Structure 1
Amino acid sequence: MMVLVHGGGWSAGDKAEMNPIKDLLRQDFPNLSIVNINYRLADENNSPYPMQMDDITTIINHLKDNKTHYTISETLGFIGTSAGGHLSLLWSYAFDVHEKVGMVCSIVGPTNLTDPAYLNNTNPDLQQLLDLFGVNPTTAFLEKVSPYHQVAATSPPTILFYGGQDPLIPTTQGIYMRDKLQSMGVTHEFTLYPNAGHGWVGLELLDTWLKLKGFINNHL
């Protein structure tokens, strides 16, 4: 069963944005159950955490309780883009108490909110998104909401894709996550497209799908 988690800076977006990935999955994995989800969007009064983690947990528990009705397995995969990549990694690393996640994919997802590139940024649009987690949050809280600080040796196989020219996601978000996975001994793959931004098309997109398809075949 593959769970798709859309992006939108935790405060916008809709599951319809994941339809291209859903269509590719249906084409190449006809026997795979696909769950394309929405979650409550954050605003100045509602932090993404723990609200959006709770929403994913509610959905997963509902599916688990009704697995015979839906004819699905309990083994989960996650594919998330941007904020959805962050949510996918964080849920897989810190909230998968029954260890049902077989693999997780982050496409341009934030991984570490304690990264100096974030803490010292001068981008007002980016800062507005980070402020959703609270103005002047504690380091301990930022670590709690960062997949980089929640990953463990028992975390599921992880595949990461990032763009070298992304205005919202510094390359360190992907590179340091890769290094942490490596040091923990977690099965992983990492691709950085040097000239890509916050998403890509053409040959790079084809490359992403071929690598992701192989990863799903191997781990789900």
Structure 2
Amino acid sequence: MYKLPHILLLGFLFFCITSCSEDAITSDITSLEAKNIINLEYGTDSHQKYDIYLPKNRTKDTKVLILIHGGGWNKGDKSEMDAFKDFIREQLPEIAVVNMNYRLADVNTPPYPMQINDIDRVVNELRNRVQEFQISPEIGFIGASAGAHLSLLWSYAHDTKKQVKMVCSIVGPTNLLDESYVNTTDQELRELLDQFGSDPAVLEAVSPIYQVTSTSPATILFYGAQDPLIPNSQGIDLRDKLKELNVTHEFTLYPNGGHGWIGLDLLDTSIKLKAFIQNHL
């Protein structure tokens, strides 16, 4: 739920050998040249901005991956997902990438439903601009930590038009009613969880494990067995629920991983994630 360690995010750059400039659109999008539009506003709040990276030779069938950053719901920035953005653009250059910011929680404003509403706004804007951008309305999500929680929750409970074809959770919370959370004595973790309040009905509504159904999109999960913030049960229980509901899924628990990982584990993540996107988006 904290910001995913830079060592994991920056590690994806190891697999990206080229980068693209971040120039705003200056010509007609019908040229079908690669275009990068930075800090598009989708609301009046300073955090309601997103970047979109449109590949060359795109068509109305070009799928879109939306990246959701972590930060405990109350901090973080889309720049923290740049390594994932670069990885996708290098390894899967036919896919459009959206990297979004969302409004951050504070003492007066809880994360839910505010942050889900922001994802709604971005998805609706993308759907309304499919002709302009020359993209498909079909989307996927990659989220890290708190961003993974939001990605799962929106995909399972708020995708009323069934646009999501796949969702990836990297160390995302899945069950805020987990006994490990309810009974935690860690003050900092308690403060993060308390942002959602204590009403069991609300905690259930914001827990992806209670929102997943047999029609939920293909889901890939990555967790670290030594993660101090995400109990092993968060990933394992969702895996078991997906299996019970016969939802297409993959699950990886790295024995030595924490709230992030490096080396061969990171390589394994990149290979599995690329294949999953290719197969399901």
TM-score w.r.t. length of structure 2: 0.77
Residue 173 of structure 2 corresponds to which residue in structure 1? Answer: 110
Distance 2:149 2:264 in 1: 25
Unaligned runs of 5+ in 2: 1-63
**Shift in Å at residue 54 of structure 1?**
0.2
Identity within the alignment, %: 61
Distance 2:183 2:81 in 1: 31
Aligned-residue RMSD, C-alpha: 0.6
The amino acid of 2:212's aligned partner reads V
Residue 131 of structure 1 corresponds to which residue in structure 2? Answer: 194
Identify, as 1 or 2, the structure richer in helix: 1
**Shift in Å at residue 161 of structure 1?**
0.3
**Are 1:169 and 2:230 matched, yes or no?**
yes
Residue 36 of structure 2 corresponds to which residue in structure 1? Answer: none
SS of the residue 1:102 aligns to: strand
**Are 1:145 and 2:214 matched, yes or no?**
no
**Are 1:212 and 2:273 matched, yes or no?**
yes
SS of the residue 2:109 aligns to: coil
Distance 1:148 1:8 in 2: 21
TM-score w.r.t. length of structure 1: 0.98
SS of the residue 1:9 aligns to: coil
SS of the residue 2:112 aligns to: helix
Distance 1:203 1:19 in 2: 21
Match of 2:104 among 16, 19, 41: 41
Residue 16 of structure 1 corresponds to which residue in structure 2? Answer: 79
SS of the residue 2:113 aligns to: helix
**Are 1:159 and 2:223 matched, yes or no?**
no
The amino acid of 1:29's aligned partner reads L
Unaligned runs of 5+ in 1: none
**Shift in Å at residue 71 of structure 1?**
1.4
**Shift in Å at residue 116 of structure 1?**
0.2
1:76-134 residue CA offsets vs partner (Å, 9 max, x unmatched)? 00000000000000000000000010000000000000000100111111111001112
The amino acid of 1:54's aligned partner reads N
Distance 2:176 2:103 in 1: 21
* Structure number with bigger Rg: 2
Match of 1:181 among 220, 242, 254: 242
SS of the residue 2:188 aligns to: helix
**Shift in Å at residue 47 of structure 1?**
0.5
Which runs of at least 4 in structure 1 moved beyond 3 Å after TM superposition? none
SS of the residue 1:4 aligns to: strand
Residue 127 of structure 2 corresponds to which residue in structure 1? Answer: 64
**Shift in Å at residue 17 of structure 1?**
0.4
**Shift in Å at residue 183 of structure 1?**
0.5
